[in-house]
Chain A
Amino acid sequence: MLKDPSLDGRFGEFGGRFVPETLVPACQELEAAFRDAWADPAFRKELDDLLRDYAGRPSILTECHNLGKQLGIRLLLKREDLNHTGSHKINSVLGQVLLAKRMGKKHIVAETGAGQHGVASATAAALLGLSCKVYMGEVDVQRQALNVFRMKLLGAQVVPAVSGSRTLKDAVNEAMRDWVATVEDTYYAIGSVMGPHPYPWMVRTFQSVIGQEASEQCHSLLGGKDPDVVVAAVGGGSNAIGIFSGFVDTKARLIGVEPAGGAAVGKGMPGVVHGMRSYLMQDEHGQVQEAQSISAGLDYPGVGPEHSYLASIGRAEYPSVNDQEVISAFQVMSRSEGIIPALECAHPMAWIIREAPKMQGQTILMNLSGRGDKDVAQMMEILDGQI
């Protein structure tokens, strides 16, 4: 089990609650409401029922025989891409929107990068009868037009974030500014294990269903054994922490793969932004740097504080892959297994392909956190004429 944060919201030296004074009471209220809900069997049952009957859990475990053979490893995929709305984001959002309703909030505000969390938020809001406003960087609005339209179909308002780098970082800024003004009747549904306490802990708790299921499924498939390596993409880090949560007590290596242009753990240093102290890409004066990644969902200069903690104690590793390796892995996976991955998940795939020679005969569990439909138009442009 991953440890709970300290009372002041710290994982080791990371985390905390660095928010404007206006939001402190709201974060305290949310923490109390979450503790209360999570201890309430009725809330847990309502969430479990939704996860099963609406989101389609449990997600299956797929063994990739073709790729495994090619790479000389045993490769297992946790299929979060098969959830309703096409990614793991629905796990957290159903929990958060149920909680919002329980707290008597009327509106949901959310940020989104690739649009997966925005779509999941719009979906849960539609289902549970709340209004939804999603901030999305203007650059991402353009490269993820399909998800923008999906959110609108679901009844959400999509607001382009036009400040700064116009990507996920700026969508978070705009969502926080919105929340500062609307905090009395609005719930901020953060999309990853980031932000002020209790978000990193709460979102992890909602996402830990991935790791619990995967652990049982691996035991069943591997005769009671655990995989040798567990690997997932890391932007903010919610799908990674979700699957890590099932294996942190095992001997499995835990690998969070960052994009080379957004390697907060790999290239950053501790900093404070978006309510948390964590590794952060910043310049020599402490200005937050703009991430540069082919994947809108990983285009983020920070990382969830628990990942910073796991890195600091050496329990998890955070290598990076570049966009070229990702483009290649995206195609390899599609052709070898008939599974088009989200560009985010092409990152761990690229790492596996690169590192396979050093892992011969080992069992690798990868979290396939989302499906690639949303990325097809972008890849069509990138691969123009090469396919």
Chain B
Amino acid sequence: MSAEIGTLETYLRKKRSEGHKLVVPYITGGFEGWTDAIRAAAANGADAIEIGIPFSDPVMDGPTIQHASEMALRNGATPISILHQLRSVDVGIPLAVMCYYNTVHHAGNERFANSLRESGVCAAIVPDLPLEESGLWCAAADTSCVETVMLAAPTAPDERLPRIIDRCKGFVYAVGLLGVTGERDTLASSALTLAKRLKAITDVPVLIGVGVSNAQQAAEACTIADGVVQGASVMRRLIEEDADAVGDYIAEVRKAVDQC
């Protein structure tokens, strides 16, 4: 990451203060054409990129990202190879990784945090590491100046949300619905409800992810939230088409959210 970007959170806060809604696409590392897709997304208005490190047992992911992960693993992708390739990807916006905790645990908390930092990654999202289990990782990440994005779910009682936010850096990942990643016909009402609850108690950027499936849903989400994370709809385009299709899609999302 180049020095002028700063942290993911300072970058996103700055963009938000300019009246800008935040668009963060997810791209599975190691999937054919993934680095081109990152460049295409960045060139077409993404504010940050979430890079998935593929895992054999992705329990928060639906069929599209499961498939992308499986193909990436078959192509021989490893956490090390992905982070190595990321070093040569400088797109001028912050990069975060999404990985399941065994990937971190296997390398060791400190070593993994260091390797993220060395690869220019600002932040990590670990979807199977809830607040109560996050202590060791967060300490290592803090030491290495890697931000840990925490997830907040619609099932969280009111007393839990402030504790999640206290531990959260970068942005708050508001899980849009009860379920795994994947495209849906409509934006779940739980997405806006949760975003409202979060916006009422924090000024950390609140991004809705999981089930934000097209430009129109992204715009709807941004009526309340500061932005969106989109995974399955991005990866479907990379799987079925190519990096250019990802770029076109991000441009479409950018345009839709800018109008809201």
Question: Would you call B101 and A272 a contact (CB within 8 A)?
Answer: yes
- With the chains together, A163 CA to B154 CA distance in Å? 27
Contact of B130 (CB < 8 Å), options: A20, A163, A164: A20
**Contact residues of A between 82 and 140, Cβ < 8 Å to B:** none
Give chain A nearest CB distance to B62 CB in angstroms: 7
Among A18, A23, A25, the most chain B Cβ lie within 10 Å of the Cβ of A18
Q: Are B130 and A273 in contact, with the CB atoms below 8 A?
A: no
Q: Is the CB of A271 within 8 A of B133?
A: no
Residues of A within 8 A of B56 (CB): 164, 287-288
Q: What are the residues of chain B within 8 A of A282 when measuring CB–CB?
A: 102, 106
Interface: B60 (CB within 8 A)? yes
Q: Are A21's CB and B133's CB within 8 A?
A: no
**Chain-B contact segment, one of A39-47, A181-189, A368-376:** A181-189
B-chain residues with CB within 8 Å of residue A26 when the two chains form the complex: 155
Min CB gap B229→A, angstroms:
14
> Judging by beta carbons under 8 Å apart, are A286 and B106 in contact?
yes
Kindly list chain B residues whose C-beta atoms are within 8 Å of the C-beta of A183.
155, 178
How many chain A residues have a CB neighbour from B under 8 Å? 37
| Contact A180/B178 with A272-B101, A282-B106, A286-B102 known, Cβ cut-off 8 Å | yes
B-contact 0/1 string along A268-294, CB 8 Å cutoff: 001111110100101001111000000
Return the contact of A24 from the options B79, B107, B132 (Cβ within 8 A). Answer: B132
Whole-angstrom distance from the CB of A47 to the nearest CB of chain B? 28
Contact at A180–B60, with CB atoms within 8 Å? yes
Give the nearest-CB partner of A285 in chain B.
B78
**CA distance in complex: A23, B179 (Å):** 10
Q: Judging by beta carbons under 8 Å apart, are A169 and B57 in contact?
A: yes
A293 → chain B closest CB, angstroms: 18
Which residue of A is nearest B154, CB measured? A22
- Is A259 on the interface with B (CB-CB < 8 A)? no
Is B222 at the interface (CB under 8 A from chain A)?
no
* A 233-288 contacts with B by CB, 8 A: 270-275, 277, 280, 282, 285-288
Residues of B within 8 A of A23 (CB): 155
Q: A25-B157, A164-B56, A173-B57 are in contact. Are A286 and B105 (CB under 8 A)?
A: yes
Does B130 contact A19, Cβ atoms closer than 8 Å?
A: yes
Residues of A within 8 A of B73 (CB): 287
Q: How far is the CB of B72 from chain A (nearest CB, A)?
A: 11
With A and B bound together, what is the CA distance between A165 and B60 in angstroms? 18
- CB pair A287 B175 closer than 8 Å: no
Please determine whether A288 and B102 come into contact, CB atoms closer than 8 angstroms: yes
**With contact pairs A169-B57, A173-B57, A285-B78 given, residues A18 and B133 touching in the complex (Cβ less than 8 Å):** yes
The answer to the question of B171 belonging to the interface, with a C-beta cut-off of 8 Å to chain A, is no
A281 to chain B, nearest CB (A): 11
Cβ–Cβ contact A273 & B102, under 8 A: yes
Q: Establish whether residues A273 and B180, one from each chain, have CB atoms under 8 Å apart when the complex forms.
A: no
**Residue A17 interfacial (CB < 8 Å):** yes
Asked if B195 CB lies within 8 Å of chain A CBs, one says: no
Is B153 within 8 A of A286, CB to CB? no
- Are A21 and B106 in touch, CB under 8 angstroms? no
Is B160 interfacial (CB 8 A cutoff)? yes
Indicate which residue in A21, A271, A286 contacts B156 across the interface (CB closer than 8 Å). A21
- Among B57, B66, B151, the residue within 8 A (CB) of A20 is B151
Q: Are A177 and B106 in contact (CB under 8 A)?
A: no
Contacts of B5 in A (CB 8 A): none
Bound-complex Cα distance A17 to B129 (A): 8
For B45-87 the 0/1 string (1 means CB < 8 A from A) is 0000000000111111010001000100100001110000000
Nearest-Cβ distance from residue B122 to partner chain A, whole angstroms: 21
**Nearest Cβ in chain A — how far from B217, in angstroms?**
18
Q: Which residues of B contact A275 (CB under 8 A)?
A: 128
Asked if A17 and B101 sit within 8 Å, CB to CB, the answer is: no
Beyond A184-B178, A271-B102, is A173–B107 a contact (Cβ under 8 Å)? no
Residues of A within 8 A of B (CB): 8, 16-26, 163-164, 169-170, 173, 176-177, 180-184, 270-275, 277, 280, 282, 285-288
B: which residues have CB within 8 A of A? 55-60, 62, 66, 70, 73, 78-80, 101-103, 105-107, 127-133, 150-157, 160, 164, 175, 177-180
What are 25 A-to-B residue pairs whose CB atoms are below 8 Å? Answer: A17-B130, A19-B130, A20-B60, A20-B127, A20-B175, A22-B154, A22-B175, A24-B153, A25-B153, A25-B156, A25-B157, A170-B57, A173-B59, A176-B59, A177-B179, A181-B177, A181-B179, A183-B178, A272-B128, A273-B102, A280-B102, A285-B80, A286-B55, A286-B103, A286-B107
